[in-house]
Structure 1
Amino acid sequence: MSYQTAAAQIERAGRIVVLTGAGVSTASGIPDFRSSEGLWTEDYSREYYMSNDYFQRHPEDFWKKYKDIFQLKLLQDYRPNKVHQFIHELETVDRQVSVITQNVDGLHQLAGSTSVLEYHGTLNQSFCQDCGRAYPLEDVMQAVVPVCRDCRTTLKPGVMLFGDLITAHDEAEKMVTDADLLLVMGTSLQVTPFSLLPYYAWEQGTAASILINNEPTDKDHLFDTVLHDDLSHAVQQLQKYL
């Protein structure tokens, strides 16, 4: 399949849902935590430390490790790259584009995308477990252990921890089944239940589908068009035909 074919599918679509993974943000300097060179592979115990169970039992040590692992001091230095911008620019008067992202960095919103479902939560906010009040990243960085000003309860990160329930899946499933094009970018589709989303489009058979990833996945057979390429190069090629 060619870039010209993929561009034609995009041109025909009125409702596009874009699924994005870590590959979309790596060009902004954010590491892929689960890749062969990612941070998770350096120490498998990080999954233990980044669990809801560890947070509840050892909040002070959790917050220290959380800030280190997710490099929160650097988060505001990251900027959207040409892939984020390409996804935003797909939005037109006649085309609705929704993003369902595994990424927790907020770069899709910073690039201007207007409909973003953060499937695994966000690093940019934390929440009081009692009253639900949201606190921005700036507040979190000012305290060793951030607490709610009203309840004095330890804040919980907005990112999903290991052991947390995924709350966005039903909404994501509906978005996928309502789309007439599913565009998947920068994810190997290994993490469940996110990896189930392409099956919904495939099973109903009414939506066109494109997968762009730098290496093959075991879900390639679910897609009409599969492109194995660096994402930055891929969007440059697509723009030639759009």
Structure 2
Amino acid sequence: MYETIALNIKSAERIAVLTGAGVSTASGIPDFRSSEGLWTEDHDREYYMSTDYFFHDPVDFWKKYKAIFRMKLLKNYRPNLVHQFIKELETEDREVSIITQNVDGLHSLAGSSRVLEYHGTLNRSSCPDCGRSYSLDDVMKVAVPVCEDCGAVLKPDVLLFGDLITAHDKAESIIEKADLLLVMGTSLFVTPFNLLPSLAYEQENTTTILINNEPTDKDRLFDYVLHEDLSAAITKIKENM
């Protein structure tokens, strides 16, 4: 199957790549919803990491936000084999667009040029009043970052609970133009992200490939399915390219 998957990837001209937490775990970033993930430590995490709580108590929000997302460690994480493989797929004759659930920014750090951060990013924050954007370095200089222009407490650009997802239409547009959909490292559990493979499945000329370390409820939507460690699977695919 690795040879067939490699052949399909090599022959594709427009590839849409969906990635989830499994792509980043090899870089040392925990899967927030796994048995050892941060969201399982208590049931209040979703409450605290919400837009409602941000506006209710922005000072305490930032204290908990930085602790939960281990912000001090974010700069230590580096792209891994999977990020590099996706970057290497880009050629003059092949367009590769990434739609990622991950908020760590590692796809961009790896050099991928077309990255849609479906759930936002930890690497930026914005003023909710004037919209001015600030870097991670700016945010980490103080306990509670505020806008230099208007004094409002900054809001992270990561998608909080209660925020509207604004990237879905753009994600659908990317998939509609793709002749190959490659999905990696996601359980396809979270809605509406998990609706995207159905769109490719309904397209007559789109090949669909799923690589994940365990089965998903969406396996039936794919032409080729590998239940395997991502790094191991990518290594075997590269050997056939």
Q: TM-score range by the shorter chain?
A: over 0.9
Cα deviation for residue 206 of structure 1 reads 2.1
- Quote the residue 1:225 is aligned against: 224
Per the alignment, in what secondary structure is the counterpart of residue 30 of structure 2? coil
Q: In structure 2, what is the Cα distance between the partners aligned to 1:175 and 1:35?
A: 29
Shift of 1:4: 1.1
For residues 121 and 97 of structure 1, what CA distance do their matches in structure 2 show? 19
- Secondary structure at 1:68's aligned position in 2? helix
Equivalent residue number for residue 172 of structure 1? 171
Equivalent position amino acid for 1:29 in 2: G
Q: What is the distance in 2 between the residues matched to 1:229 and 1:203?
A: 26
Tell me the amino acid that sits aligned with residue 153 of structure 2: T
Distance (Å, rounded) in 2 between the aligned partners of 1:101 and 1:36: 21
Code of the aligned partner of 1:86: F
Consecutive unaligned residues of structure 2, counting only runs of 5 or more, are none
Task: Give me the whole-angstrom Cα distance separating, in 1, the residues matched to 2:108 and 2:44.
Answer: 31
C-alpha displacement at 1:36, in angstroms?
2.2
Query: 2-side partners of 1:187 and 1:101: how far apart?
Result: 10
- Are residues 1:74 and 2:73 paired? yes
Per-residue displacement from partner, 1:61-108 (whole Å, max 9, x unpaired)?
100000000000000010000010000001111111010000000000
Partner residue in 2 for 1:207: 206
What does residue range 153-172 of structure 1 map to in structure 2 within 5 Å?
Answer: 153-172=152-171
Q: How does 1:21-100 map to 2 (within 5 A)?
A: 21-100=20-99
Matched residue pairs, number? 241
Could you tell me how far 1:16 is from its partner in structure 2?
0.2
TM-score by length of 2: 0.99
Question: For residues 166 and 120 of structure 1, what CA distance do their matches in structure 2 show?
Answer: 7
Moved more, 201-210 or 167-176: 201-210
| Aligned Cα root-mean-square deviation (Å) | 0.7
Aligned residue in 1 for 2:184? 185
How far did 1:205 drift?
2.7
Aligned-pair CA distance for 1:38: 1.1
Q: Give 3-state SS (helix, strand or coil) of 1:92's partner.
A: coil
Give 3-state SS (helix, strand or coil) of 2:15's partner.
strand
% identical aligned pairs: 70
SS at match of 2:142: coil
One-letter code aligned to 2:107: H
Which position in structure 2 is the counterpart of 1:107?
106
Show the counterpart of 1:139.
138
| 1:204 positional shift | 2.2
Name 2:126's counterpart in structure 1.
127
Output the amino acid matched with 1:102.
Q
Q: Report the 3-state secondary structure (helix = DSSP H, G, I; strand = E; otherwise coil) of the residue aligned with 1:154.
A: coil
1:213 and 1:144 map into 2 onto residues whose CA distance is 38
Distance 2:66 2:33 in 1: 18
4+ aligned runs moved over 4 Å, structure 1: none
Deviation at 1:14, TM superposition (A): 0.2
